Amino acid sequence: MPLRLGVNIDHAATLRQARYARDPVGLLAEPDPVEAALIAEKAGADGITAHLREDRRHMQDRDIFRLKESLRTKLNLEMGNAPEIVAIALQVKAHDVCLVPENRHEITTEGGLDCLAHQTALQTTVGKLRDLGTVVSLFIDPDPDQICAAADLRADYIELHTGAFANATGSARSRELQRLVAGATQAHELGLRVNAGHGLNYQNVSELFVVPFMAELNIGHAIISRALFTGLADAVAEMKALCARYPL
Query: Active site includes 198?
Result: yes
Q: Which of 11, 58, 161, 198 is catalytic?
A: 198
Pairing of strands 96-99, 135-140: parallel
78 flagged as catalytic: yes
With the C-alpha atoms ordered 154, 155, 156, 162, is the resulting torsion angle positive or negative? negative
The separation between CA 87 and the C-alpha centre of its own chain, rounded to angstroms, equals 19
> For residues 235 and 225, what is the distance between their CA atoms, to the nearest angstrom?
9
Catalytic-labelled residue, pool 11, 41, 58, 78: 78
Find the catalytic residue in 11, 51, 58, 161: 51
Question: 3-class SS at 193?
Answer: strand
Q: What is the CA radius of gyration of the chain?
A: 17
Distance from C-alpha of 178 to C-alpha of 231, rounded to nearest angstrom: 35
Rounded to whole angstroms, the Cα distance separating 55 from 60 reads: 9
211, HSE (Cβ side, Cα atoms, 13 Å): 36
Length of the chain: 248
- Residues marked as catalytic: 51, 78, 198
